[in-house]
Structure 1
Protein backbone atom coordinates (compact mmCIF):
# COMPACT_ATOMS: atom_id res chain seq x y z
CA UNK A 1 0.00 0.00 0.00
CA UNK A 2 1.35 3.41 -0.93
CA UNK A 3 2.59 5.55 1.96
CA UNK A 4 0.29 8.46 2.81
CA UNK A 5 3.03 11.05 2.39
CA UNK A 6 3.56 9.85 -1.21
CA UNK A 7 -0.15 10.38 -1.95
CA UNK A 8 0.01 13.87 -0.44
CA UNK A 9 3.17 14.64 -2.41
CA UNK A 10 1.50 13.58 -5.67
CA UNK A 11 -1.66 15.57 -4.91
CA UNK A 12 0.26 18.78 -4.16
CA UNK A 13 2.57 18.25 -7.16
CA UNK A 14 -0.49 17.87 -9.42
CA UNK A 15 -1.99 21.07 -8.01
CA UNK A 16 1.26 22.94 -8.69
CA UNK A 17 1.51 21.63 -12.25
CA UNK A 18 -2.12 22.52 -12.93
CA UNK A 19 -1.56 26.06 -11.69
CA UNK A 20 -3.76 25.82 -8.58
CA UNK A 21 -0.70 26.73 -6.52
CA UNK A 22 1.01 29.40 -8.59
CA UNK A 23 4.74 30.00 -8.96
CA UNK A 24 6.32 32.24 -6.31
CA UNK A 25 3.34 31.95 -3.97
CA UNK A 26 3.38 30.16 -0.62
CA UNK A 27 1.91 26.76 0.01
CA UNK A 28 -0.54 26.51 2.91
CA UNK A 29 1.23 26.18 6.25
CA UNK A 30 2.13 22.79 7.72
CA UNK A 31 -0.73 23.20 10.20
CA UNK A 32 -3.21 23.93 7.39
CA UNK A 33 -1.96 20.94 5.39
CA UNK A 34 -2.21 18.71 8.48
CA UNK A 35 -5.85 19.72 8.86
CA UNK A 36 -6.66 19.41 5.13
CA UNK A 37 -5.14 15.94 4.74
CA UNK A 38 -6.08 14.83 8.27
CA UNK A 39 -2.59 13.59 9.08
CA UNK A 40 0.42 14.18 11.29
CA UNK A 41 3.08 16.89 11.04
CA UNK A 42 5.70 14.21 10.33
CA UNK A 43 3.75 12.95 7.30
CA UNK A 44 3.33 16.50 5.94
CA UNK A 45 7.03 17.19 6.42
CA UNK A 46 7.95 14.03 4.52
CA UNK A 47 5.71 15.11 1.64
CA UNK A 48 7.18 18.63 1.66
CA UNK A 49 10.73 17.24 1.69
CA UNK A 50 9.92 15.16 -1.39
CA UNK A 51 8.39 18.19 -3.12
CA UNK A 52 11.57 20.11 -2.35
CA UNK A 53 13.86 17.34 -3.61
CA UNK A 54 11.96 17.20 -6.92
CA UNK A 55 11.96 20.93 -7.58
CA UNK A 56 8.34 21.80 -6.82
CA UNK A 57 8.98 24.01 -3.79
CA UNK A 58 11.76 25.86 -2.01
CA UNK A 59 11.66 25.94 1.78
CA UNK A 60 12.53 29.41 3.06
CA UNK A 61 13.10 29.90 6.77
CA UNK A 62 10.53 32.27 8.20
CA UNK A 63 8.45 32.24 4.99
CA UNK A 64 7.36 28.64 4.57
CA UNK A 65 7.31 26.69 1.30
CA UNK A 66 7.56 28.78 -1.87
CA UNK A 67 6.14 27.23 -5.06
CA UNK A 68 8.60 26.95 -7.98
CA UNK A 69 7.71 27.02 -11.67
CA UNK A 70 7.42 23.24 -12.05
CA UNK A 71 5.39 23.56 -15.25
CA UNK A 72 8.72 23.92 -17.06
CA UNK A 73 9.17 20.20 -16.54
CA UNK A 74 6.89 19.16 -19.39
CA UNK A 75 9.86 17.38 -21.00
CA UNK A 76 12.32 16.77 -18.16
CA UNK A 77 15.85 15.87 -19.19
CA UNK A 78 16.46 13.68 -16.17
CA UNK A 79 13.09 11.91 -16.18
CA UNK A 80 12.13 8.67 -17.91
CA UNK A 81 8.45 8.92 -18.77
CA UNK A 82 6.25 8.02 -21.70
CA UNK A 83 4.50 10.54 -23.92
CA UNK A 84 1.18 9.28 -22.52
CA UNK A 85 2.30 10.18 -19.00
CA UNK A 86 3.45 13.61 -20.10
CA UNK A 87 0.33 14.16 -22.19
CA UNK A 88 -1.92 13.84 -19.14
CA UNK A 89 -0.80 17.36 -18.25
CA UNK A 90 -1.70 18.69 -21.71
CA UNK A 91 -5.44 18.06 -21.54
CA UNK A 92 -7.27 16.62 -24.53
CA UNK A 93 -5.43 18.48 -27.30
CA UNK A 94 -2.99 15.74 -28.27
CA UNK A 95 -2.99 12.75 -30.61
CA UNK A 96 -0.56 10.00 -31.61
CA UNK A 97 -0.36 8.71 -35.19
CA UNK A 98 1.45 5.41 -35.81
CA UNK A 99 3.17 5.90 -39.16
CA UNK A 100 5.24 2.71 -39.13
CA UNK A 101 5.22 -0.54 -37.22
CA UNK A 102 7.59 -3.07 -38.72
CA UNK A 103 9.55 -6.10 -37.55
CA UNK A 104 12.79 -5.84 -39.45
CA UNK A 105 16.51 -6.55 -39.51
CA UNK A 106 18.22 -3.29 -38.56
CA UNK A 107 21.02 -1.63 -40.48
CA UNK A 108 24.53 -1.29 -39.06
CA UNK A 109 23.82 2.00 -37.23
CA UNK A 110 20.79 0.76 -35.26
CA UNK A 111 22.44 -2.61 -34.63
CA UNK A 112 25.41 -0.75 -33.15
CA UNK A 113 23.23 1.51 -30.97
CA UNK A 114 21.44 -1.50 -29.49
CA UNK A 115 24.59 -3.66 -29.41
CA UNK A 116 22.84 -6.42 -31.33
CA UNK A 117 24.33 -9.45 -32.98
CA UNK A 118 23.87 -9.76 -36.73
CA UNK A 119 20.53 -11.33 -37.58
CA UNK A 120 18.69 -10.05 -34.49
CA UNK A 121 15.41 -8.38 -35.43
CA UNK A 122 13.96 -5.17 -34.04
CA UNK A 123 10.60 -3.46 -33.96
CA UNK A 124 10.82 -0.17 -35.83
CA UNK A 125 8.06 2.19 -34.68
CA UNK A 126 7.55 5.71 -36.04
CA UNK A 127 4.99 7.82 -34.22
CA UNK A 128 3.95 11.42 -34.84
CA UNK A 129 2.71 13.42 -31.85
CA UNK A 130 0.17 16.13 -32.57
CA UNK A 131 -0.40 18.82 -29.94
CA UNK A 132 -2.99 21.59 -30.33
CA UNK A 133 -3.51 20.65 -33.97
CA UNK A 134 0.18 20.76 -34.94
CA UNK A 135 2.45 17.76 -35.57
CA UNK A 136 5.51 18.70 -33.56
CA UNK A 137 7.24 15.45 -32.46
CA UNK A 138 8.45 12.47 -34.49
CA UNK A 139 9.40 9.55 -32.26
CA UNK A 140 11.51 6.86 -33.94
CA UNK A 141 11.74 3.79 -31.69
CA UNK A 142 13.79 0.65 -32.17
CA UNK A 143 13.05 -2.19 -29.73
CA UNK A 144 14.83 -5.53 -29.62
CA UNK A 145 12.54 -8.49 -30.34
CA UNK A 146 14.66 -10.48 -27.90
CA UNK A 147 12.65 -8.72 -25.17
CA UNK A 148 9.42 -7.80 -26.96
CA UNK A 149 8.09 -10.57 -29.19
CA UNK A 150 4.74 -9.02 -30.11
CA UNK A 151 3.73 -5.40 -30.68
CA UNK A 152 0.50 -3.97 -32.06
CA UNK A 153 -0.56 -0.63 -33.48
CA UNK A 154 -2.99 -0.15 -30.58
CA UNK A 155 -0.16 -0.61 -28.07
CA UNK A 156 2.02 1.87 -29.97
CA UNK A 157 -0.80 4.40 -30.14
CA UNK A 158 -1.48 4.06 -26.42
CA UNK A 159 1.83 3.45 -24.57
CA UNK A 160 4.63 0.98 -25.24
CA UNK A 161 6.02 1.52 -21.74
CA UNK A 162 2.66 0.74 -20.15
CA UNK A 163 2.48 -2.46 -22.21
CA UNK A 164 6.02 -3.50 -21.24
CA UNK A 165 5.45 -2.93 -17.53
CA UNK A 166 1.78 -3.91 -17.11
CA UNK A 167 1.36 -6.68 -19.70
CA UNK A 168 4.87 -8.12 -20.03
CA UNK A 169 5.77 -7.64 -16.36
CA UNK A 170 9.19 -6.13 -17.05
CA UNK A 171 10.64 -3.13 -15.21
CA UNK A 172 12.06 -0.18 -17.14
CA UNK A 173 14.83 1.19 -14.97
CA UNK A 174 17.03 3.90 -16.48
CA UNK A 175 18.17 5.63 -19.66
CA UNK A 176 21.14 7.45 -21.09
CA UNK A 177 20.17 10.57 -23.05
CA UNK A 178 21.90 12.67 -25.66
CA UNK A 179 20.47 15.97 -26.93
CA UNK A 180 21.52 17.58 -30.22
CA UNK A 181 20.25 20.28 -32.59
CA UNK A 182 20.28 19.26 -36.26
CA UNK A 183 18.83 20.20 -39.62
CA UNK A 184 15.52 18.46 -40.40
CA UNK A 185 15.67 15.40 -42.63
CA UNK A 186 13.29 14.83 -45.53
CA UNK A 187 11.34 12.51 -43.21
CA UNK A 188 11.05 15.25 -40.58
CA UNK A 189 9.70 17.62 -43.23
CA UNK A 190 7.18 15.02 -44.42
CA UNK A 191 5.80 14.19 -41.00
CA UNK A 192 6.12 17.41 -38.97
CA UNK A 193 4.59 20.87 -39.23
CA UNK A 194 7.92 22.69 -39.11
CA UNK A 195 6.44 26.16 -39.66
CA UNK A 196 9.60 27.41 -41.33
CA UNK A 197 12.03 26.22 -38.65
CA UNK A 198 15.38 25.12 -40.04
CA UNK A 199 16.51 23.11 -36.99
CA UNK A 200 15.00 20.44 -34.79
CA UNK A 201 15.96 19.18 -31.34
CA UNK A 202 16.78 15.46 -31.23
CA UNK A 203 16.72 13.58 -27.93
CA UNK A 204 18.38 10.17 -28.24
CA UNK A 205 17.44 7.65 -25.55
CA UNK A 206 19.18 4.40 -24.71
CA UNK A 207 16.72 2.65 -22.39
CA UNK A 208 17.52 -0.23 -20.03
CA UNK A 209 15.59 -2.76 -17.97
CA UNK A 210 16.27 -3.31 -14.28
CA UNK A 211 18.77 -6.07 -15.08
CA UNK A 212 20.78 -3.50 -17.11
CA UNK A 213 19.68 -4.99 -20.45
CA UNK A 214 19.56 -2.40 -23.25
CA UNK A 215 16.23 -3.00 -25.03
CA UNK A 216 15.36 0.29 -26.76
CA UNK A 217 16.99 3.04 -28.78
CA UNK A 218 14.85 6.09 -29.53
CA UNK A 219 15.24 9.32 -31.45
CA UNK A 220 12.62 11.82 -30.36
CA UNK A 221 12.66 14.68 -32.88
CA UNK A 222 11.07 17.94 -31.69
CA UNK A 223 10.12 21.22 -33.34
CA UNK A 224 12.19 23.68 -31.30
CA UNK A 225 9.63 26.36 -30.46
CA UNK A 226 7.20 24.10 -28.64
CA UNK A 227 9.29 22.68 -25.81
CA UNK A 228 11.70 23.64 -23.11
CA UNK A 229 14.01 20.86 -22.00
CA UNK A 230 14.58 21.67 -18.36
CA UNK A 231 16.30 19.86 -15.54
CA UNK A 232 16.29 20.66 -11.85
CA UNK A 233 19.43 20.19 -9.77
CA UNK A 234 19.70 20.60 -6.02
CA UNK A 235 23.18 20.87 -4.52
CA UNK A 236 23.92 18.47 -1.68
CA UNK A 237 26.74 18.83 0.78
CA UNK A 238 29.62 16.59 -0.17
Structure 2
Protein backbone atom coordinates (compact mmCIF):
# COMPACT_ATOMS: atom_id res chain seq x y z
CA UNK A 1 0.00 0.00 0.00
CA UNK A 2 3.01 2.25 0.59
CA UNK A 3 3.94 2.27 -3.11
CA UNK A 4 0.31 2.72 -4.11
CA UNK A 5 -0.27 5.80 -1.97
CA UNK A 6 3.05 7.31 -3.14
CA UNK A 7 2.09 6.76 -6.77
CA UNK A 8 -1.30 8.42 -6.20
CA UNK A 9 0.32 11.33 -4.33
CA UNK A 10 2.80 11.98 -7.14
CA UNK A 11 0.12 11.67 -9.81
CA UNK A 12 -2.16 14.18 -8.06
CA UNK A 13 0.77 16.53 -7.36
CA UNK A 14 1.77 16.36 -11.03
CA UNK A 15 -1.78 17.20 -12.10
CA UNK A 16 -1.88 20.17 -9.71
CA UNK A 17 1.51 21.47 -10.92
CA UNK A 18 0.38 21.23 -14.55
CA UNK A 19 -3.01 22.84 -13.77
CA UNK A 20 -5.15 19.83 -14.62
CA UNK A 21 -6.57 20.65 -11.20
CA UNK A 22 -6.25 24.47 -11.26
CA UNK A 23 -5.80 26.74 -8.25
CA UNK A 24 -9.08 27.24 -6.40
CA UNK A 25 -10.70 24.09 -7.77
CA UNK A 26 -11.62 21.06 -5.67
CA UNK A 27 -10.17 17.61 -6.09
CA UNK A 28 -12.63 14.78 -6.66
CA UNK A 29 -14.08 13.35 -3.45
CA UNK A 30 -12.38 10.51 -1.59
CA UNK A 31 -14.98 8.11 -2.98
CA UNK A 32 -14.42 9.34 -6.54
CA UNK A 33 -10.64 9.14 -6.16
CA UNK A 34 -10.94 5.67 -4.68
CA UNK A 35 -12.90 4.54 -7.75
CA UNK A 36 -10.56 6.41 -10.13
CA UNK A 37 -7.40 4.77 -8.75
CA UNK A 38 -8.98 1.44 -7.88
CA UNK A 39 -7.92 1.50 -4.26
CA UNK A 40 -9.27 1.92 -0.74
CA UNK A 41 -10.32 5.23 0.81
CA UNK A 42 -7.63 4.71 3.45
CA UNK A 43 -4.96 4.79 0.75
CA UNK A 44 -6.55 7.90 -0.78
CA UNK A 45 -6.60 9.61 2.64
CA UNK A 46 -2.86 8.96 3.02
CA UNK A 47 -2.15 10.49 -0.39
CA UNK A 48 -4.33 13.51 0.43
CA UNK A 49 -2.61 13.88 3.79
CA UNK A 50 0.74 14.08 1.99
CA UNK A 51 -0.64 16.72 -0.38
CA UNK A 52 -1.92 18.66 2.63
CA UNK A 53 1.43 18.48 4.43
CA UNK A 54 3.34 19.69 1.37
CA UNK A 55 1.04 22.64 0.70
CA UNK A 56 -0.75 21.42 -2.43
CA UNK A 57 -4.25 21.44 -0.91
CA UNK A 58 -6.33 22.67 2.01
CA UNK A 59 -9.20 20.61 3.34
CA UNK A 60 -12.47 22.56 3.77
CA UNK A 61 -15.03 20.96 6.06
CA UNK A 62 -18.10 19.92 4.09
CA UNK A 63 -16.56 20.84 0.73
CA UNK A 64 -13.45 18.76 0.17
CA UNK A 65 -9.85 19.48 -0.82
CA UNK A 66 -9.22 22.83 -2.50
CA UNK A 67 -6.07 23.31 -4.61
CA UNK A 68 -3.70 25.98 -3.26
CA UNK A 69 -1.54 28.37 -5.24
CA UNK A 70 1.75 26.54 -5.72
CA UNK A 71 4.71 28.34 -7.29
CA UNK A 72 7.12 26.11 -9.18
CA UNK A 73 10.81 25.78 -8.40
CA UNK A 74 10.72 27.03 -4.82
CA UNK A 75 13.60 26.15 -2.55
CA UNK A 76 12.44 25.13 0.93
CA UNK A 77 14.23 27.36 3.44
CA UNK A 78 13.72 25.28 6.56
CA UNK A 79 14.00 21.79 5.10
CA UNK A 80 17.00 19.67 4.14
CA UNK A 81 16.36 18.63 0.54
CA UNK A 82 18.81 17.55 -2.14
CA UNK A 83 18.65 19.08 -5.61
CA UNK A 84 17.86 15.64 -7.04
CA UNK A 85 14.90 15.30 -4.67
CA UNK A 86 13.72 18.81 -5.54
CA UNK A 87 14.00 18.03 -9.24
CA UNK A 88 11.83 14.93 -8.79
CA UNK A 89 9.19 16.58 -6.58
CA UNK A 90 8.83 19.76 -8.67
CA UNK A 91 9.28 18.16 -12.11
CA UNK A 92 12.17 20.40 -13.16
CA UNK A 93 14.11 19.72 -16.35
CA UNK A 94 17.40 20.05 -14.51
CA UNK A 95 21.00 18.96 -14.96
CA UNK A 96 24.17 19.10 -12.87
CA UNK A 97 27.66 20.01 -14.08
CA UNK A 98 30.49 19.05 -11.72
CA UNK A 99 33.07 21.84 -11.86
CA UNK A 100 35.53 20.71 -9.20
CA UNK A 101 36.31 17.96 -6.69
CA UNK A 102 39.42 18.44 -4.58
CA UNK A 103 40.74 18.35 -1.02
CA UNK A 104 40.53 21.69 0.79
CA UNK A 105 40.23 23.17 4.24
CA UNK A 106 36.80 24.59 5.06
CA UNK A 107 36.87 28.42 4.81
CA UNK A 108 35.49 28.80 8.34
CA UNK A 109 35.37 32.60 8.08
CA UNK A 110 32.61 32.22 5.47
CA UNK A 111 30.47 30.27 7.93
CA UNK A 112 31.20 32.16 11.16
CA UNK A 113 32.43 28.93 12.70
CA UNK A 114 35.26 28.56 15.20
CA UNK A 115 37.66 25.61 15.30
CA UNK A 116 41.01 25.14 17.03
CA UNK A 117 42.34 23.26 14.01
CA UNK A 118 41.68 23.50 10.25
CA UNK A 119 38.90 21.22 9.05
CA UNK A 120 39.92 18.93 6.18
CA UNK A 121 37.18 18.44 3.61
CA UNK A 122 36.37 17.25 0.12
CA UNK A 123 35.32 20.34 -1.81
CA UNK A 124 32.63 19.75 -4.44
CA UNK A 125 31.54 22.57 -6.74
CA UNK A 126 28.52 22.00 -8.97
CA UNK A 127 26.54 24.17 -11.36
CA UNK A 128 22.80 23.46 -11.44
CA UNK A 129 20.86 24.17 -14.61
CA UNK A 130 17.17 24.15 -15.53
CA UNK A 131 16.30 23.94 -19.22
CA UNK A 132 20.08 24.33 -19.79
CA UNK A 133 20.14 27.73 -18.04
CA UNK A 134 22.47 28.16 -15.00
CA UNK A 135 20.44 28.70 -11.83
CA UNK A 136 22.41 27.67 -8.74
CA UNK A 137 26.08 27.30 -7.90
CA UNK A 138 26.56 24.79 -5.06
CA UNK A 139 29.78 24.60 -3.05
CA UNK A 140 29.95 21.72 -0.58
CA UNK A 141 32.65 20.97 1.97
CA UNK A 142 32.26 17.39 3.24
CA UNK A 143 34.43 16.67 6.27
CA UNK A 144 36.91 13.91 5.44
CA UNK A 145 36.79 12.32 8.91
CA UNK A 146 33.15 11.42 8.15
CA UNK A 147 33.29 10.84 4.35
CA UNK A 148 36.88 10.12 3.20
CA UNK A 149 36.25 10.19 -0.57
CA UNK A 150 33.63 11.38 -3.05
CA UNK A 151 33.70 10.25 -6.68
CA UNK A 152 32.80 12.22 -9.81
CA UNK A 153 29.84 9.87 -10.36
CA UNK A 154 28.43 10.50 -6.88
CA UNK A 155 28.86 14.27 -7.22
CA UNK A 156 27.05 14.28 -10.56
CA UNK A 157 24.14 12.29 -9.13
CA UNK A 158 23.29 12.94 -5.46
CA UNK A 159 25.54 13.36 -2.44
CA UNK A 160 22.68 12.69 -0.03
CA UNK A 161 21.68 9.48 -1.78
CA UNK A 162 25.28 8.32 -1.38
CA UNK A 163 25.53 9.44 2.26
CA UNK A 164 22.25 7.86 3.35
CA UNK A 165 21.80 4.79 1.16
CA UNK A 166 25.40 3.68 0.67
CA UNK A 167 27.27 4.97 3.72
CA UNK A 168 24.31 4.62 6.11
CA UNK A 169 24.65 8.13 7.55
CA UNK A 170 21.56 9.55 9.27
CA UNK A 171 21.24 13.24 8.36
CA UNK A 172 19.21 15.07 10.98
CA UNK A 173 19.25 18.88 10.92
CA UNK A 174 20.96 22.01 9.61
CA UNK A 175 21.46 25.65 10.51
CA UNK A 176 21.11 28.15 7.66
CA UNK A 177 21.99 31.78 7.00
CA UNK A 178 20.61 33.68 3.99
CA UNK A 179 22.32 36.84 2.70
CA UNK A 180 22.23 39.04 -0.39
CA UNK A 181 25.73 39.70 -1.73
CA UNK A 182 27.57 40.97 -4.78
CA UNK A 183 28.98 38.12 -6.91
CA UNK A 184 32.62 37.59 -7.70
CA UNK A 185 33.60 37.73 -11.37
CA UNK A 186 33.70 33.92 -11.45
CA UNK A 187 30.23 33.60 -9.87
CA UNK A 188 28.75 36.19 -12.24
CA UNK A 189 30.25 34.39 -15.23
CA UNK A 190 29.03 30.95 -14.20
CA UNK A 191 25.50 32.18 -13.42
CA UNK A 192 25.41 34.49 -16.48
CA UNK A 193 24.75 37.61 -14.43
CA UNK A 194 25.56 41.20 -15.28
CA UNK A 195 27.61 43.46 -13.01
CA UNK A 196 24.52 45.08 -11.46
CA UNK A 197 22.83 41.85 -10.32
CA UNK A 198 23.30 40.54 -6.80
CA UNK A 199 23.16 36.93 -5.64
CA UNK A 200 21.35 35.19 -2.80
CA UNK A 201 23.68 33.01 -0.75
CA UNK A 202 22.38 30.27 1.54
CA UNK A 203 25.10 28.99 3.89
CA UNK A 204 24.35 25.78 5.76
CA UNK A 205 25.97 23.61 8.40
CA UNK A 206 24.49 20.12 8.40
CA UNK A 207 24.59 17.61 11.25
CA UNK A 208 24.07 13.90 11.71
CA UNK A 209 21.62 12.29 14.13
CA UNK A 210 24.28 12.14 16.86
CA UNK A 211 24.88 15.94 16.43
CA UNK A 212 28.15 15.43 14.53
CA UNK A 213 28.84 18.25 12.08
CA UNK A 214 29.79 16.80 8.70
CA UNK A 215 28.94 19.29 5.92
CA UNK A 216 29.29 22.99 5.11
CA UNK A 217 27.44 24.30 2.05
CA UNK A 218 27.26 27.56 0.11
CA UNK A 219 24.36 27.65 -2.36
CA UNK A 220 24.55 30.69 -4.62
CA UNK A 221 21.26 31.51 -6.32
CA UNK A 222 20.12 33.79 -9.09
CA UNK A 223 17.36 35.82 -7.38
CA UNK A 224 15.56 36.41 -10.69
CA UNK A 225 14.97 32.68 -11.13
CA UNK A 226 14.14 31.27 -7.70
CA UNK A 227 12.01 32.33 -4.77
CA UNK A 228 12.54 31.10 -1.22
CA UNK A 229 9.32 29.87 0.31
CA UNK A 230 8.48 27.97 3.45
CA UNK A 231 5.05 26.40 3.83
CA UNK A 232 3.99 26.37 7.47
CA UNK A 233 0.90 25.09 9.23
CA UNK A 234 -0.34 26.55 12.49
CA UNK A 235 0.27 24.32 15.50
CA UNK A 236 -1.16 25.39 18.82
CA UNK A 237 0.98 25.00 21.92
CA UNK A 238 -1.05 24.30 25.01
Q: What is the TM-score normalised by the length of structure 2?
A: 0.87
Matches within 5 A, 1:50-69: 50-69=50-69
Change (3 A) 1:208 1:41: same
Equivalent-residue separation in structure 2 for 1:91 and 1:150 (angstroms): 29
- Post-superposition offset of 1:45: 2.8
Aligned to 1:191: 190
Equivalent-residue separation in structure 2 for 1:197 and 1:172 (angstroms): 38
- Post-superposition offset of 1:44: 2.6
**Deviation digits for residues 49-78 of structure 1 (CA, Å, limit 9, x no counterpart):** 332232111111232110112344631112
**Deviation digits for residues 16-52 of structure 1 (CA, Å, limit 9, x no counterpart):** 2343322221111111012123333344334323322
Aligned to 1:96: 96
SS of residue matched to 1:177: strand
SS of residue matched to 1:25: coil
Equivalent-residue separation in structure 2 for 1:42 and 1:134 (angstroms): 42
SS of residue matched to 2:214: strand
Aligned to 2:225: 226
Change (3 A) 1:73 1:105: closer
- Unmatched 5+ residue regions in structure 1? none
Q: Is the 8 A contact 1:58 1:65 kept in 2?
A: yes
SS of residue matched to 2:139: strand
Q: Is the 8 A contact 1:73 1:231 kept in 2?
A: no
Indicate whether 1:30 and 2:30 are aligned: yes
Aligned to 2:216: 217
Aligned to 2:78: 78
Equivalent-residue separation in structure 1 for 2:15 and 2:3 (angstroms): 19
Q: CA RMSD in A?
A: 2.4
Q: Is the 8 A contact 2:111 2:203 kept in 1?
A: no
Per mean C-alpha deviation after superposition, the further-off stretch among 213-222 and 191-200 is 191-200
Per mean C-alpha deviation after superposition, the further-off stretch among 146-155 and 185-194 is 185-194
**Deviation digits for residues 99-153 of structure 1 (CA, Å, limit 9, x no counterpart):** 221112334426863x655254101111111222322211111110011111112
Matches within 5 A, 1:131-142: 131-142=130-141
Q: What is the TM-score normalised by the length of structure 1?
A: 0.87
Give the 4+ runs in structure 1 shifted more than 6 A: none
Q: Is the 8 A contact 2:73 2:226 kept in 1?
A: no
- Unmatched 5+ residue regions in structure 2? none
- Post-superposition offset of 1:174: 1.9
